[in-house]
Structure 1
């Protein structure tokens, strides 16, 4: 409580069912003229982008659509979007989607005011100038990139995810409308939901955790524990989608200010090397990292078990902490997360992956100090345990 804090989140936040309809009014008030609308082909084709452009049309706000964003956006992808931003003489950015369009938009926004190559901004606080205004509209309950100072871009030459932690990239307006999340596929809902749970758990146990981040992380874990399985089972359940929307949103506020940990450090390498979806990579590694970190703050892991609905009244703190791992595994199994051994992961890559994870920007926030050997052991445990379980089935 004696440590001063600089807390970051967007100045304007529109959250809850139907909140999308208010964003055009907010943009109009700001006097912005033309947006680069950053999204992907799926959202263009399924009508989500049209819901956004209808709001813009209502206020006569011009836009140019860039919907070529890849699932794991690359440096080339970002520079293509930036070229369109310049050519179309845009003065702000609207991102529509999950983490990929959000991260791409953040990168374009930084290039628009700072120039250079996006790889110049890898790391913490590398830009000098604030991004152009960004309106970040989320369509998944997962990354919470619409409210954070972080963005991730893949360097395709190095097969490496570059982590940028930069307050200058913070969106001006965040929109989290669960009506845009209805009908999402089960596997996407599961992966993004477990990404959100990872954010909340890592934020709650991070070195940078503090009073506010603890309070909102706990609530996020509670909401995700209550609603994730329901949202996966019934994609039209608006209550479940709303619960997950809030859970994801506040987890983002938490980790953007408290930090993350080695689940993300390790998952970034799986995404960069094998193009594995980020939420799936997090979900595969989360229980193994929880086991590794548990003895550094067992009370917090006991809290996590309770937040996830486990009855811990007759358990010691250590037993309750272990129960948190069991509950996370149960949730992952219910929503169908595949094991690491069923991905493109190669044992011969493990040393390189561990070395890159050790140097990842998220590693420093991990509650427990780690070595390359620790990270290699976690990768291998996740791989071998899953392999044994698969063989038994």
Structure 2
């Protein structure tokens, strides 16, 4: 049997001020927001709320030590709702604070502590990539294990996902490009996942169309084209989040996690590095089924022949975001073996969703091609 689920209530607003008024944000709320968000959008709003900027507890992508630091800072303070305004980092961290028990974080992520929801959770994305507002997944770098792990449980679903295009306006170009490519990869990986259904594929296809058409417009017209597509990119990210929240991500994400954790490469950029080599290897091993359907669909969007899809997609994506070789990110050849260990031993949840089975040799081959 197949199943499909959309848990959060999805709402659209014109501004953060409208949201704060409608939801009466204030005392009793734990609000996660960066200082930039506080300065640009929250002035005079959310009076009486407990406001946390996770950057006060560390830099880079979220880790178990950051979460533990926030938990200790909040000890003894009560709140009835958790509201998070931010990118995937902030949303993934905030999800944990809607649970009854967070500490120790490593035990929670290794499923030694059952996740139990204790309060309402409201998520507002400020990027157009992670789709975290739609999923029951939180991803952290666990410092003790030197990799990222995902915790997937229905207790992590938001009660409300609120989409506000205004919040994307000041997103830096590289952050925009990385996050939007991440959403495209969510859509692609969920489409070719063996867990995909007719419902997830519908959301995957719509996400891909919105993202690729937006990218094509930006490549031709430049930054000015981005603003007119903000709602499209935000919707595409949520559509892709719905798709991969049900069908899962796969090897692109699994191979990107060691790079992101070891060299602090932003998540969407690390995924961009892995995307084409993974899909080219899929095609070498078996060209048929959902992979061929994907190539045919992308060919239509890109205006090219099936056989030229990966070349044309690379041309488009590198017009949005540049990336480097593994060596240029500071990876040593000795680390490639450790990266492969992490993928095969710690990322089985993701590798189970591959279009075809990838062996350790296949993983080593991909890393080697990128070095």
- Fold in common (TM above 0.5): yes
Indicate the residue corresponding to 2:360 in structure 1. 372
CA contact (8 A) 2:180 2:237 kept: yes
* Equivalent residue runs for 1:293-312 within 5 Å: 293-294=282-283, 295=286, 297=289, 298-306=291-299, 308-312=301-305
Deviation for aligned residue 1:307: 5.4
* Equivalent residue runs for 1:1-393 within 5 Å: 3-10=1-8, 12-15=9-12, 18=14, 20-24=16-20, 27-28=23-24, 33-45=27-39, 47-48=40-41, 50=42, 54=45, 56-57=46-47, 62-69=48-55, 70-110=59-99, 113-122=100-109, 127-228=114-215, 230=217, 233-234=222-223, 237-294=226-283, 295=286, 297=289, 298-306=291-299, 308-312=301-305, 320=306, 322-340=307-325, 341-358=327-344, 359-360=346-347, 361-383=349-371
Would the alpha carbon gap of residues 125 and 95 (structure 1) be closer, same or farther in structure 2, given more than 3 Å must change?
Answer: farther
SS of the equivalent of 1:207 reads: coil
For 1:267 and 1:241, the matched residues in 2 are separated by: 26
For 1:225 and 1:124, the matched residues in 2 are separated by: 37
Deviation for aligned residue 1:114: 2.8
Greater shift in the superposed pair: 298-307 or 249-258: 298-307
Please give the TM-score of this superposition, normalised by the length of structure 1.
Answer: 0.84
For 2:170 and 2:217, the matched residues in 1 are separated by: 13
RMSD: 2.4
**Number of residue pairs aligned between Structure 1 and Structure 2:** 359
For 2:180 and 2:12, the matched residues in 1 are separated by: 17
Please give the TM-score of this superposition, normalised by the length of structure 2.
Answer: 0.89
Unaligned runs of 5+ in 1: 313-319, 384-393
Give 4+ residue runs of structure 1 displaced > 4 Å after superposition. 123-126, 229-232
Deviation for aligned residue 1:305: 1.5
Unaligned runs of 5+ in 2: none
Would the alpha carbon gap of residues 216 and 36 (structure 1) be closer, same or farther in structure 2, given more than 3 Å must change?
Answer: same
CA contact (8 A) 2:255 2:343 kept: yes
